Structure 1
Amino acid sequence: MCASGPTPREAGSARIHRMRALRSWSADAALAVAITLVGLVGTTIADRWSDTAIRPLDALGLAVVAAAGLSLVLRRRQPVFTAGAVALLTSTYLVLGYTYGPIMLSLVVAVYSLARHRPPSTSAPVAVGVLAVLLVHVLTTGSGLPSLLGAIPGSAWVAVPFAIGSVLRVQREAAERNRAEQLRQRVDDERLRIAQEVHDVVGHGLAAIKMQADVALHVLAKKPEQAEVALEAISRTSSDALDELRATLAVVRRSDVRTPGLARLDDLLQRMREAGLAVELSTAGQPRQLPPVVDLTGYRILQESLTNVLRHTSDKRAEVSVEYAEDAVVLTITNPLSGPGGGGGGLGLPGMRQRVASLGGEFTAGPTADRRFTVHARLPTGGTG
């Protein structure tokens, strides 16, 4: 059995990772070369104008400056090694008595990179070690209190870039946590949306099937031909529910599948009538193509509302009104109240309310003074028409 290769998604992710690594490496190499050139030129100029150098600049001094600058090519991949190497080279340069110069820029970048790319548990001890190595020249090039006082400004070459790198690292980690939290929130919202879709599809199908099954059981002994009609309706309803459930799951998998919408309202009403619900439909305005999310939401509201009537009332009658306004589609479902309630419970009404709220629409549901239960939803369409 041959091993399967990487999937296209894995191959694409690996290619992106390689491209990012190459760009990072190129940027670090370019920075290292630039700082090296600045160091060589700047050190040569500083040596000519300085009268405090103990040792004149020579090939060894230039080699140390170049080595410190070129070490920065590893500043992101090996920041601990880079900081240690640059600190040793800088300290060696100063102990040998060369003049202060741009080699300190290499040290600043190395310490900054250490704090930027390593956690404090690693970067802080290394930074202390870098400072200790850097201050060696204070003790070797002078004596007494004046030399020790030189450690104060010398410490700034480590403390300042370390503080800047640490602050930027904290900000980056905070931004990453925020992005991760937003991603988790989107995943949770998607899971809730899928749960609502499955609830609507399965709940509607099972309610219709139960009603027809009750009819079949009631007439099976006396009127078997009516039982056959009920069983055929059960078969059609279950088939439609399975097809709709497959379409819902296919959309989750990003398949090119036509999702339910108001254009399929007649099919929905036909299934409800077969389940024993008398439904009257009235429309106003000119039907038009709606934004997909609005179209699906409208269909689900009608489906859930009619399913609730079928489940929770003994008077199996409902009136459906669909109005196509200029900037919205308005849905109204009413049914006579019978029994203790009329709206159902569970995820139905909260799910509808949340769907409408996510579109910035208006939703109300509840009993009216004339003993009817009314669901009213206004779904904005953005003036599409």
Structure 2
Amino acid sequence: MHDAPGERDPRRGRARGPDRSSRGRWWPPSGHRPFGPPRRRGRGPWWAGEDAEGEEPRGAGRVLWRSSAAVAVIQLVGTRFAAHDQPERTDLGPLGYALLLAGPALLLVRHRHPRLAVFGTAAVTLVYLGAGYPNGPVFVSVVVASVAAVAAGRRIAAWSALGLLWAGRVLIGHWLYRWLPPSGDGPASWGQELAVAAWVTAIVAASELVRVRREQWARERAERAAAVRRRADEERLRIARELHDVLAHSISVINVQAGVGLALLDQDPEQARTALTTIKAASKEALGEVRQVLDTLRAPGAAPRSPAPGLARLGELTEQAASAGLTVEVAEEGRRVPLPPGTDLAAFRIVQEALTNTVRHSGSRTARVRLRWAPDALELRVDDDGPATSAETAGTGPADRPSGGGNGLVGMGERAAALGGTVEAGPRPDGGFRVRARIPLGRPAGTVADGPEEEAP
């Protein structure tokens, strides 16, 4: 009888593995390598220059092999052609060909071990020069390794390797040539050394340019990723704000009317019926608005089936508040002007949330809404006579904290701030509570600033 998966085996003192399949095979977990050592994951991307072994991106191995093979072909073929014009140099033998292939072989590890690659190729090239073999494209391996090392952040290693290679070449060409092959070789010209120094400087400059470009690309990628996350966060906040504003008012009306219906169910059935009718109407409207929000999310960019709420529906809002037992007095000053959809929606939601807070958290049964149309801004003010409590100031009461969360006033401020306006809310000196908002009217309808809000139902 087999033990259950994960059950401890008393004979071995450790938990047993998963069940075997019907074929009697044990399938290793995902990522397990049954042949060879387990793959080690690096601390960063392959171009970051981590010396510890790391997992390279998909396809990087093929690029390494192809580029190293191309360098090997260039060095072998180029050196063979260059050797025809240098009969005085040592003939290429097995050691010479081995040195020409050793540099490209070291390039295979230039991403995981950039220091090893740059110092190794420099040492191989120095040995090749000391052996007196023909001059040719043997420096290609050093150039590629240096560029990879600098791009990986190992600048000191690359500069040190190139400096040691140049110093070794000077030492061989001006002092050690007497004891090194080929026999009868004379000292090198200093003009040639200056040319080599200029090439080394050009290699370092090209490597630094590659490093700067890679850092710039990485920074741009990070900025694009941050912008995508920021847009996603803004969209998530917008959706949360819409759902809060849609549901908070309707659920507050339903809550109040449910309490009235329960209290009057036995004493005044007709009044309880009226409360239930109000609950049905409020819930139907809430479901419709929630469905409209969800339809907008499922089909981004599609036009909503019904117009977005605005100040034109202020009468419906006051009727809903009246069904919850709150009398709303509306007054306007100035000449009403058409508002962009985003501004109209924000003004409606601010008034709606202020009235919802009055219904939920204030002892007053009367609220006053005042709209003042200025030439450059719309000023909204919602007052109630209290009593004002700290729960009302926070936008939620202790009993309602799990469901409300205190996001009502925060949502008001976010809506106004998105349009360049402000919201002030707090107790009045003479008692009660006041919400005051100012929304600029400088953005005409259809501007880019109103784009995100136009999608809102």
Task: Report the TM range for the smaller structure's normalisation.
Answer: 0.5 to 0.7
The alignment status of 1:379 with 2:424, answered yes or no, reads no
Which residue matches 2:342?
293
Which residue matches 2:381?
332
Distance 1:119 1:133, change over 3 A: closer
The alignment status of 1:247 with 2:292, answered yes or no, reads yes
2:430 aligned to which of 363, 370, 374: 370
Q: Deviations over 1:309-330 (max 9, x none)?
A: 0001122110111223222221
The alignment status of 1:256 with 2:273, answered yes or no, reads no
Which residue matches 1:213?
258
State the shift of 1:252 in Å.
3.0
Which residue matches 1:273?
322
Residues 329, 381 of structure 1: 8 Å contact kept: yes
Which blocks of at least 5 consecutive residues in structure 1 are unaligned?
A: 1-74, 100-114
Q: Distance in 1 between matches of 2:333 and 2:68?
A: 74
State the TM-score, normalized to the length of structure 1: 0.67
Distance 1:362 1:305, change over 3 A: same
Residues 131, 158 of structure 1: 8 Å contact kept: no
Q: Distance in 2 between matches of 1:82 and 1:231?
A: 78
Residues 205, 241 of structure 1: 8 Å contact kept: yes
Q: Distance in 2 between matches of 1:154 and 1:146?
A: 17
Distance 1:135 1:297, change over 3 A: farther
Distance 1:300 1:379, change over 3 A: same
Distance 1:124 1:247, change over 3 A: farther
Q: Distance in 2 between matches of 1:119 and 1:329?
A: 64
Distance 1:384 1:128, change over 3 A: same
Q: Distance in 1 between matches of 2:110 and 2:264?
A: 76
Map of 1:1-385 to 2, 5 A cutoff?
78=63, 81-82=66-67, 84-86=69-71, 88-90=73-75, 92-94=77-79, 96-97=81-82, 120-121=111-112, 138-139=129-130, 140-141=133-134, 145-146=172-173, 155-156=200-201, 158-253=203-298, 254=300, 255-257=302-304, 258-338=307-387, 340-341=389-390, 342-343=392-393, 344-345=395-396, 346-382=406-442, 384=444
* Percent identity over paired residues: 35
Which residue matches 1:36?
none
Residue type of the partner of 1:166? R
Residue type of the partner of 1:240? E
Q: Distance in 2 between matches of 1:279 and 1:221?
A: 29
Q: Secondary structure at the match of 1:96?
A: helix
Distance 1:298 1:128, change over 3 A: farther
Distance 1:125 1:256, change over 3 A: farther
Distance 1:120 1:145, change over 3 A: same
State the shift of 1:125 in Å.
5.7
Q: Secondary structure at the match of 1:326?
A: coil
Q: Deviations over 1:252-307 (max 9, x none)?
A: 33231132222222221111111111001112233333222212211111111000
Q: Distance in 2 between matches of 1:80 and 1:160?
A: 26
Q: Distance in 2 between matches of 1:223 and 1:92?
A: 104
State the TM-score, normalized to the length of structure 2: 0.57
Distance 1:80 1:239, change over 3 A: same
Residues 330, 370 of structure 2: 8 Å contact kept: yes
Q: Secondary structure at the match of 1:256?
A: coil
- Give the superposed CA RMSD: 3.4
State the shift of 1:382 in Å.
1.3
Q: Distance in 2 between matches of 1:125 and 1:355?
A: 58
Residues 209, 238 of structure 1: 8 Å contact kept: yes
Residue type of the partner of 1:357? A
Residues 424, 437 of structure 2: 8 Å contact kept: yes
Q: Distance in 2 between matches of 1:287 and 1:327?
A: 12
Deviates more, 1:135-144 or 1:208-217: 135-144
Q: Distance in 2 between matches of 1:381 and 1:134?
A: 73
Matched positions, count: 295
Q: Distance in 2 between matches of 1:267 and 1:119?
A: 71
Residues 361, 377 of structure 1: 8 Å contact kept: yes
Q: Secondary structure at the match of 1:226?
A: helix
Q: Deviations over 1:186-211 (max 9, x none)?
A: 21122122112212222111110011
Q: Secondary structure at the match of 2:325?
A: coil
